[in-house]
Amino acid sequence: MGMTIGEKIIARAAGVESVKAGDIQTVTLDRLMSNDGTTHLTVDMYNNKLKNPRIADKDKIVFIMDHNVPAENPKTAEAHKKMRNFAKEHGIVLYEGQGVCHQIMLEDWVCPGEIIFGADSHTCSYGALGAFGTGVGCTDLLYAIVTGKSWVLVPETIRFNLHGKLREGVYPRDLILTIIGDIGANGANYKVMEFAGDGAHNLSINDRMVLCNLCVEAGAKSGIVEPDEKVVEYCAEHGREAKADQMFVSDDDATFAAVYEYDLSKIEPVVARPDFVDDVIPLSECPKVKIDQAFLGSCNNGRIDDLRVAANILKGKKVSDEVRFIVAPASNAVYLEALEEGIMDTLMEAGAQIMNANCSVCWGSCQGVIGENEVLISTGTRNFKGRAGHPSSKVYLGSAETVTKAAITGYING
């Protein structure tokens, strides 16, 4: 009986020959990630609820402060202190203000074939490098920190065969929003979304990050692109080795819950309307919507490619007087690259506000929060009711190009 990529990774981590969807397996986790959204809660439980607590393997844990950095109020500062002190006390690696957690994990840690738990829903991003990343709550993470293990229900896999290439002006963001619009916000609930075919291999690693990152918005446990030579190169460029025996691909006789075919050349620019990520319509059919703010950034679209798109469009132009255009690079590595290329000069001259590398507007808590009845167009991950501020405010999601153009004209599709 053949296995999918997800099944192969779980079988390896469980130390068994084979698994099939529906099995419950205990796996040894390869890495654990926790950010400042919830680490203080995990630390509280560890310190106050456990008797003789211990950490199974501190070298597998990565702490990243990205949600509220630098701290915006004394409560956050205390939560950060707790996280910082715990990391120091236990010798856990800590990143503070270096970028969004998933971007840092992909730049510095993730290897193909690994299974990684992160206390953040967008941990599914790690499939860009052929790993099985999944989001958990802080109690699951605590259990994993203490035991080094966790149980997983082996998920079914939905296979997406991608063909060809995206047209000029169409982005992986448009592709994944289109897919989510097609299958719905729970279309892949509990399942792995696996991407393969020549179209998947045509995508860069950065493109694959965009794709896998948003899989949780269709309910998926993980998103995984079939790993190839580009993954090996990416890992080598970032100072680590992709092990040949962990470059898993699905067997020909693997069982899929469903198989979809997508011709990438037919994908067009889209937007997700408030308040649901699966309420997706072609940009061309979107009525002209006046906006108050535009945001470029997040673990979905704060990478160098996105900043380049914005700079190319903004060169010699100005952000509308009616719009705040907020840009947050996904990591300091991205930020430095953008500085070197002169991108930040272009964006600032056009009137953009550049933030430090963090979750920023996407998290709706510390930067660029929007007010009553305001409208935001964003490359962030979600457009739920009140996600970016006041409950009456509205969030549209789109690609870096769609967002930047709206920042100039003051209108979506205007």
Site for other proteins in 140-169 (CB under 8 A): 140, 142-143, 146
User: Applying CB under 8 A, does 223 fall inside the site for other proteins?
Assistant: no
Please report whether residue 380 would count as binding other proteins according to CB under 8 A: no
What gap in Å lies between CA 332 and CA 63, rounded to an integer?
Answer: 16
Residue 95's nearest CA partner among 30, 31, 32, 35 is 35
Residue 367 CB partners (closer than 8 Å, separation 6+): 72, 326, 328, 355, 358, 360, 361
Task: Retrieve residue 183's tokens.
Answer: 């299958």
Give the strands of the sheet with 222-225, arranged side by side: 222-225, 192-196, 157-163, 258-263
Asked if 336 touches other proteins (CB under 8 A), the answer is no
Binding part of the chain for other proteins, among 6-14, 72-80, 231-239, 298-306 by CB under 8 A, reads 72-80
The pairing of strands 258-263 and 157-163 is parallel
**Cα–Cα distance for residue pair 311/97, rounded to 1 Å:** 24
Residue with tokens 């630390």: 43
| Contact characters 264-303, other proteins, x per CB under 8 A | ------------x---------------------------
Euclidean distance between CA atoms 271 and 263, whole angstroms: 19
Name which position in 49, 58, 240, 266 contacts other proteins (CB under 8 A): 49
| Residue 390, both tokens | 């006041």
Identity of the residue, 120 or 401, whose beta carbon is nearer to other proteins in the bound complex = 120
| Residue 73 binds other proteins (CB under 8 A) | yes
Rounded Cα gap, residues 94 and 96, in angstroms: 6
Contact status: 55 vs other proteins (CB under 8 A): no
Q: Is position 70 an interface residue for other proteins (rule: CB under 8 A)?
A: no
243 is a contact residue toward other proteins (CB under 8 A): no
The closest alpha carbon to 310, from 404, 397, 413, belongs to 404
Report the nearest approach of other proteins to the CB of residue 89 (Å). Answer: 19
What's the min distance (Å) between Cβ of 11 and other proteins?
Answer: 20
Span interacting with other proteins, options 181-189, 238-246, 253-261, 344-352, rule CB under 8 A: 181-189
Degrees, nearest 5: CA angle 141-221-199: 135
Q: How far is the CB of 262 from other proteins (least distance, A)?
A: 23
Q: Which positions touch other proteins (CB under 8 A)?
A: 24, 37-38, 41, 45, 48-53, 73, 75-76, 79, 119-121, 135-140, 142-143, 146, 185-186, 189-190, 216, 219, 221, 276, 363-365, 369, 382, 384-387, 391
